[in-house]
Amino acid sequence: MMDVKRVISTIERKYIINNLKKEERIDGRGLWEYREFKIDSDMVASAEGSADVMLGETRIITGLKYDVGSPFPDLPDAGVCTIMAELLPLASPLFERGPPDEQSIELARVVDRGIRHADCVQTKKLCIKEKEAVYILFVDMYVINHGGNLIDCGGVSALATLISAHIPEGIYTENGIEWTGNYLTGEDIVNELPLVLTYGKIDDIIFLDPSLPEELVCDGKISISVTEDKITSIQKSGATTFSFDEIRMLGQKTIEIGKELRNKLNFWQYKVKID
């Protein structure tokens, strides 16, 4: 991984921090404002669901594929949904080829945990026959451009992908799996609409949706996943600390901002209509 200290100059660092102290951002936003989201769904013909999401200059394309396999012994009537992430070198000079690094693992795990702990995917709907066969869903995120805050962009991309799902429906017979010609859609699979919101912190200044220059000068970040009315997971990274009062404040603010963002994005418009 490239040394980030060589990516951003001391002058730019001071400029970013001085603006934040005045509750201003270098892109004109307030401390609690998102960059613009742009979403295009179901545009990958070879996938059973997909989304192309941009958050400012950050862009992530996500695809959904499936397999049929045996369920876990302790969950005999539940399917599986797993989320992975790949940081393509074309997305940023900060990314290098090779095995997954800490950032790609963090991206996948934080998005996965927010979705999993929210009971977003109705895994029992993915059961074809108890103890015999279930769907295994693979949600793969590919970072196309890194403009900061990969986690929030990835969370929206993964959710839009699941909502756009159209998975061939199978039934279990004495001859094995037979396909009915019907499909399981996002309406069948998706139960909750969790969102993950990430905040940066520099000194005692906290701000939503850090851009890449802001990330490079941050002391640390915190990502909070929420449904309409509860927190489902929290992930902190970096050296900074957050007080109990800051965590309480951010938890409440995340639920409030999450409701506004959920309404604005109107996720169910991306469901696929099967003729």
Asked if the model's pLDDT at residue 1 lies above 60, the reply is: no
So what's the pLDDT on residue 7? Answer: 63
In whole angstroms, what separates CA 24 from the centre of its chain? Answer: 26
What percent of the chain clears pLDDT 90, i.e. is strictly above it?
Answer: 80
Model pLDDT, residue 11: 82
Mean pLDDT, residues 208-224 taken together: 95
CB 213 within 8 A of CB 16: yes
pLDDT bracket for residue 275 (50, 70, 90): low
Among the residue ranges 31-45, 109-123, 166-180, the one predicted with the least confidence is 166-180
In this predicted structure, the answer to whether residue 36 has a pLDDT above a threshold of 80 is: yes
Checking if the pLDDT of 103 tops 60, the result is yes
- The mean per-residue pLDDT over the stretch 179-206 comes to 95
Q: In sequence order, which residues have a C-beta less than 8 Å from that of residue 68 and are 6 or more positions away?
A: 128, 133, 134, 135, 136, 170, 177
- What's the token pair of residue 159? 């959710």
**Where are the domains positioned within the chain?**
4-270
Q: Are 37 and 55 in contact (CB under 8 A)?
A: yes
Choose between 100 and 68: higher pLDDT. 68
The CA distance from 222 to 64, in Å, is 27
**Per-residue buried b or exposed e for 67-98, using 16+ beta carbons within 10 Å of the residue's own CB:** ebeebeeeeeebbbbebbbebeeebbebbeee
Indicate the Cα dihedral angle 2, 5, 9, 13, nearest 10°.
Answer: 130
CA-to-CA dists, residue 219 to 95, 222, 254, angstroms: 20, 11, 20
Span 14-23, pLDDT tens digits: 888 888 888 8
User: What single-letter amino acid sits at 186?
Assistant: G
Is pLDDT at 53 greater than 60 in this prediction? yes
Nearest alpha carbon to residue 63 among 46, 88, 87: 46
Cβ proximity of 224 and 254 under 8 Å:
yes
How many CA atoms are closer than 13 Å to the CA of 128, on its beta-carbon side?
Answer: 25
Least confident of 81-85, 115-119, 173-177: 173-177
Q: Coil, helix or strand for 164?
A: coil
Largest CA distance in the chain: 71
Q: What is the mean pLDDT of residues 144-150?
A: 95
Find out if CATH 3.20.20.410 is the number for domain 4-270: no
Q: What is the pLDDT of residue 14?
A: 87
DSSP sequence for 190-216: B----EEEEEEEETTEEEES--HHHHH
CA-CA-CA-CA torsion sign (84, 90, 91, 92)? positive
The per-residue pLDDT of the chain, averaged, comes to 92
CA 201/CA 206 separation, integer angstroms: 5
Model confidence pLDDT, tens digit, residues 236-269 = 999 999 999 999 999 999 999 999 999 999 999 9
Lowest mean pLDDT among 2-11, 15-24, 44-53, 125-134: 2-11
> Which pLDDT band, with edges at 50, 70 and 90, does 271 fall under?
very high
